[in-house]
């Protein structure tokens, strides 16, 4: 007969004198146990334990050494399953190459995270679970194809942190000196993807990124929403030693009130990035940098004050750019850019195609058109995928009142933007 216990299949057919007692499975003959694809030998008069919950282990009043042995056994099983998963990923990678499909699919990753966190009974926390599987997926993608990702650097900037959050540590993350350089790396095929900042909840849009989409044919394939915390870092770690503060203009603006209250007479100097600020301060005992916590460990600095941003909910949105559109997911958003004709009632006309179809517009941003004075280009985010019939029809109608329309990408929403069922 065959047994099926909590998803574990016992093969081949076991004799009648195999039996359960409590949490233990006993077998009086030699058989093979198929543990989700791996064979484990059961010898005469040995027993195999069914998976136990933490409460079950503790209720048996085991010693620390005995519990550690159980943990080691679980780790061995996890290792076996990880390698099984890796083998399947390699097989999928071969199929993708044969079908000329993208090997990085953000919607699939989102699906994995949400499914696992939805099924997680605890006590292992969901955020930690997501981090673990972030690295499992990162290492798996590296088995399919080595991944190179350009980001607006240098290292220890918030864009670097966003890239690590999105792609994990197994991807090759390549810092670039400017946002245009990130676009260029991806356009030339030197990197498969790029990560650039586009918007901060306190200071608004990053104009350099928006301007690049006017010239580039790259697509937005995903986005990263990063909660940003700013740290005041120095060599000594003492507030009274600080005679000058360095940082990028965005963090300086986000910490303006804190600086006025705590360092009112200290000059603040703009530099190219928070990482550059940390580099400067690493050689100056009388200076401080506003940077990430990661920068403190990378450049050997001490934390003077933590979380000095003025707004509690301080988020920065980053875009992941690639050469092809992302696959449709269950809950997408689409980004457009367009320039309207200079006619009476044009703003009403450009919104009407979306309003009459009930399509929610989540953001509208305008930028001056550099080639012509007093004309503007609009950036728009909406709920839905470009392949949805209503969205496709609305974009088609929008073209009638625009000089040009460009779809920048359709991609999965971040978890904070998910549409409520």
| Token representation of residue 395 | 């974009």
Q: Counting Cβ atoms within 10 Å, is residue 169 exposed (0-12), middle (13-18) or buried (19+)? A: exposed
What are the respective helix, strand and coil percentages of the chain, to the nearest 5? Answer: 40, 30, 35
User: Which is it for strands 231-234 and 244-247: parallel, antiparallel or unpaired?
Assistant: unpaired
The beta strand positions in 235-351, using DSSP E, are 244-247, 268-270, 287-291, 302-305, 315-322, 332-340
Rounded to whole angstroms, the Cα distance separating 38 from 99 reads 30
Residue with tokens 């933007």: 417
CA 143-148-149 angle, to 5 degrees, is: 130
Q: How far is CA 303 from CA 9, 69, 266, in A?
A: 53, 40, 18
Catalytic residue among 25, 316, 334, 354: 316
Q: Are 231 and 303 in contact (CB under 8 A)?
A: yes
| Token representation of residue 421 | 């069922």
Helix (H) or strand (E) holding 141: helix 126-144
Residue with tokens 């603006």: 253
Q: Are 160 and 182 in contact (CB under 8 A)?
A: no
Residue with tokens 């920065």: 316
Number of C-alpha atoms within 13 angstroms, CB side, residue 387? 10
Rounded to whole angstroms, the Cα distance separating 110 from 116 reads 10
Three-state secondary structure string covering 178-231: CHHHHHHHHHCCCCCEEEEEEEECCCEECHHHHHHHHHCCCEEEEEEEEECCCE
Helix/strand/coil for 379: strand
Catalytic residue at 379? Answer: no
Catalytic residue at 318? Answer: yes
Catalytic residue among 318, 338, 354, 379: 318
- The answer to whether the peptide bond before residue 392 is cis (omega within 30 degrees of 0) is no
Enumerate the active-site residues: 316, 318
């Amino acid at each position: 007969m065959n047994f099926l216990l909590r998803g574990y299949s016992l093969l081949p057919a076991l004799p009648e004198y195999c039996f359960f007692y409590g949490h233990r499975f006993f077998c009086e003959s030699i058989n093979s146990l198929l543990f989700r694809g791996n064979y484990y030998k059961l010898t005469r008069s040995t027993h195999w334990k069914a998976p136990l919950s933490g409460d079950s282990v503790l209720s048996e009043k085991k010693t620390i050494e005995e519990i550690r042995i159980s943990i080691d056994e679980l780790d061995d099983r996890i290792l076996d399953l990880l390698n099984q998963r890796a083998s399947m990923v390699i097989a999928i990678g071969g199929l993708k190459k044969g079908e000329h499909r993208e090997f990085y699919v953000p919607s699939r990753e989102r699906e994995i995270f949400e499914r696992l966190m939805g099924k997680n009974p605890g006590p292992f926390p969901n955020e930690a679970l997501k981090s673990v599987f972030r690295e499992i997926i990162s290492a798996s993608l590296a088995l399919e194809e080595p991944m190179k990702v350009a980001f607006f650097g240098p290292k220890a900037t918030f864009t670097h942190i966003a890239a690590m959050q999105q792609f994990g540590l197994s991807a090759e993350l390549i810092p670039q000196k400017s946002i245009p350089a990130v676009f260029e790396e991806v356009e030339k095929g030197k990197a498969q993807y790029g990560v650039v900042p586009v918007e901060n909840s306190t200071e608004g849009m990053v104009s350099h990124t928006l301007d690049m989409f006017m010239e580039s044919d790259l697509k937005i394939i995903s986005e990263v929403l990063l909660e940003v915390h700013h740290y005041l870092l120095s060599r000594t770690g003492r507030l009274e030693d600080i005679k000058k503060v360095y940082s990028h203009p965005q963090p300086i603006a986000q910490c303006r009130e804190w600086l006025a209250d705590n360092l009112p007479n200290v000059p603040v100097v703009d530099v190219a990035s928070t990482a550059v600020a940390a580099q400067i301060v690493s050689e100056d005992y009388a200076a401080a940098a506003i940077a990430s916590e990661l920068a403190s460990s990378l450049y050997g600095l001490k934390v003077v004050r933590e979380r000095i941003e003025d707004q509690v909910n301080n988020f920065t949105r980053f875009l992941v750019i690639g050469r092809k559109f992302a696959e449709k997911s269950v809950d997408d958003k689409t980004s457009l850019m367009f320039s309207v004709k200079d006619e009476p009632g044009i703003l009403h006309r450009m919104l009407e195609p979306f309003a009459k179809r009930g399509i929610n517009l989540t953001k509208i941003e305008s930028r001056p058109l550099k080639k012509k004075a007093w004309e503007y280009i609009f950036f728009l985010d909406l709920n839905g995928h470009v392949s949805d019939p209503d969205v496709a029809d609305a974009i088609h109608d929008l073209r009638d009142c625009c000089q040009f329309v460009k779809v920048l990408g359709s991609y999965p929403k971040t978890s904070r933007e998910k549409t409520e069922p």
